[in-house]
Amino acid sequence: MSLPPWSFSGIKTFDQCPKKYYHLKITKEYSDPPTEATLYGSRFHTAAEEYIRDGTALPPYFEYAKGVLDSLNNMEGTKYCEYEMGLTQDIQPCGFKDANVWWRGIADLIIINHTTGEARVVDYKTSKSTRYADTGQLELMALATFKHFPEVKKIRAGLIFVVCKGFIKASYTVDDVPEILSKWTAEHDKLKAAYENNVWNPRPSGLCRNHCVVLDCAHNGRN
């Protein structure tokens, strides 16, 4: 079984439950259905991209985020919206869909100040709480940004929760790359071992019985 390119979301699904990952990502016999929350998030990401990239007016129901987006738009530097990045296995930059892509991810917004060598990396969140905020996504985006923009030596990153007005910030320098790489290579190795051994054990939790879409599991209460 060949190992496909991985992403932050894929690793999170695997960590939640290897069996769920197997059915969603490999056999693809199940899929997470869109919810009102995920559809809302998708609409916001599109609106934010078009507002910053093209100057398209925000829909009235997203006007509440105009101040935050204006602050980002007014920052000095080149703006890259919904920017696709890939890394090869030897951690070299490559295209999102290149044949040799090992990791891939999409940054909601990157702002590169080519004069100072600093960048901003932003991920929009439409959750109603910051309770389950995870900066791991920012670590991977920072790693990829350092590789794709070698002039960047420092990154200020953040998860911007536009609905609940929360902000989870992080900062990285190019000296942090080895530590970030070590952490996420270890995470990837767990996924790699599952592929090599074809072992996808379930990891039951309180979400199994009523929420998991994988009906082909002893822990699912709806099978």
Convert the pLDDT of each residue in 43-64 to its tens digit.
999 999 999 999 999 999 999 9
Domain-embedded: residue 139: yes
CA 144, 145, 149, 155 dihedral sign is negative
Residue 190 lies in a domain: yes
CATH code, domain carrying 53: 3.90.320.10
Alpha carbons 15 and 58: distance in angstroms, whole number: 36
Residue 222: predicted pLDDT: 65
Cα(216)–Cα(218) distance, integer angstroms:
7
Kindly state whether residue 79 falls inside one of the protein's structural domains: yes
Q: Which one is predicted more confidently, 68 or 209?
A: 68
Sign of torsion over alpha carbons 76, 109, 95, 193: positive
Residue at 1 is within a domain: no
100 vs 219, more confident: 100
Task: With cut-offs at 50, 70 and 90, classify the pLDDT of residue 9.
Answer: very high
What's the confidence (pLDDT) of residue 211? 81
Does position 219 have pLDDT exceeding 60, yes or no?
yes
Can you tell me whether residue 81 is helix, strand or coil?
Answer: strand
Question: The domain containing residue 194 runs over which residues?
Answer: 8-211
Kindly indicate the confidence band of residue 209, based on its pLDDT and cuts at 50, 70 and 90: confident
Question: Tokens standing for 139?
Answer: 């670590």
In order of 28, 179, 184, 213, the CA distances from 169 in angstroms are 35, 18, 19, 33
pLDDT recorded at residue 223: 57
Domain assignment present for residue 220? The answer is no
So what's the pLDDT on residue 220? 83
Three-state DSSP state, 83? strand
**Can you give the pLDDT at residue 218?**
87
Band the pLDDT of 217: cuts 50, 70, 90: confident
In the block, tokens 């320098």 appear at 173
Q: Could you identify the residue written with the tokens 């069996």?
A: 19
Count how many domains the chain has.
1
Residue 218 lies in a domain: no
DSSP state of 133: -
Average pLDDT, the chain: 95
Is position 219 within any domain? no
* CA distances (Å), origin 145, targets 20, 94, 108, 112, 155: 30, 12, 12, 9, 9
